[in-house]
Amino acid sequence: MYVRSKIVVANWKMHKDLGEGLRLATEVIQMLHNQVKDKVQVILLPPFIHLEAISKLLPTAGPIHLGAQNCHEHAFGAFTGEIAAPMLRSVGASFVLIGHSERRHYFGEGSALLAQKVSIALIYGLRPIFCCGEVEQTCTVAWQENFVEEQLATSLFHLSAEQIAQVIVAYEPVWAIGTGRTPTPTQAQAMHQFIRYIIASKYGEEVASSIPILYGGSCDTENARLFFTRPDVDGGLIGKASLIANSFVTIVKSLE
């Protein structure tokens, strides 16, 4: 059977000036040198303006890659202040985060726009890391599943099987982001299994079983291993704990 990659992603969000970012990336690269297990990939998502400088620090072949936290839905044009997918490729990014809840919430990004962003990313050779997750902790499992299914269907299911096989899914319950609260590993596993089932219903088992599904939301050095040992949890999307090299490296090393 095809073994999908294990992946840990560092989402720095809007943190670190250039000097701080270079220091953090250097520390992570040094600490992970020869320490990353087979089939494990590490992806750093610094702010856009640090991408080029950090790409120069990365060994050309190796398990550490670069991505961006967002991209525009068009390839170029009169969109002042925006950044396009081919620009990101040209400065060393090979991944892009799409549909993070902070983009959905603060910048009003909806399903149709996110579907366009996923498509443009794929056209320009960026692998999308697509975020989904329910907003409320208190709703029923059925409600949470419907919510996530709708997010997947409206932003990913226009893709061909070859295209969706390039996508990484990140399940981030919004109520768990930056709050110190998390679902139990059993609850996270159940949602990951459901996500894989929904993808399989549309694209078949083989495609669904090849797609990495990451957990995000207050994932830290204490709980990472508990999530990562579940069969459908293929790694993590890490916010706060990715801003300290030691913590992030500990999380990467907790992947089996």
Task: List contacts with ligand 13P (CB under 6 A).
Answer: 11, 100, 172, 177-178, 216-219, 237-241
Rounded to the nearest 5°, which phi and psi values hold at 223? -110, -10
CB of 67 to ligand 13P, least distance (A): 12
What is the spatial distance between Cα 211 and Cα 156, in angstroms, rounded to a whole number?
A: 13
CB of 12 to ligand 13P, least distance (A): 9
Catalytic entry in 73, 100, 109, 134: 100
Say how many CA atoms lie within 13 Å of 75 toward its Cβ.
10
CB of 103 to ligand 13P, least distance (A): 10
Is 100 annotated as catalytic? yes
If the CB atoms of residues 152 and 238 are measured against ligand 13P, the closer one turns out to be 238
What is the spatial distance between Cα 26 and Cα 93, in angstroms, rounded to a whole number?
A: 17
If the CB atoms of residues 217 and 235 are measured against ligand 13P, the closer one turns out to be 217
With residue 146 as reference, give the H or E element that holds it.
helix 141-156
Among 76, 73, 22, smallest CA distance to 46 is for: 22
**One-letter identity of residue 132:** C
Cα Rg, the chain, nearest whole Å: 17
**Rounded alpha-carbon distances, angstroms, from residue 151 to 112, 125, 222:** 10, 23, 29
**One-letter identity of residue 80:** T
If the CB atoms of residues 64 and 174 are measured against ligand 13P, the closer one turns out to be 174
Catalytic entry in 102, 109, 145, 172: 172
**One-letter identity of residue 172:** E
CB of 104 to ligand 13P, least distance (A): 12
If the CB atoms of residues 56 and 181 are measured against ligand 13P, the closer one turns out to be 181
CB of 179 to ligand 13P, least distance (A): 7
Q: Is 201 exposed, middle or buried (0-12, 13-18, 19+ CB in 10 A)?
A: exposed
Which residues are designated catalytic?
100, 172
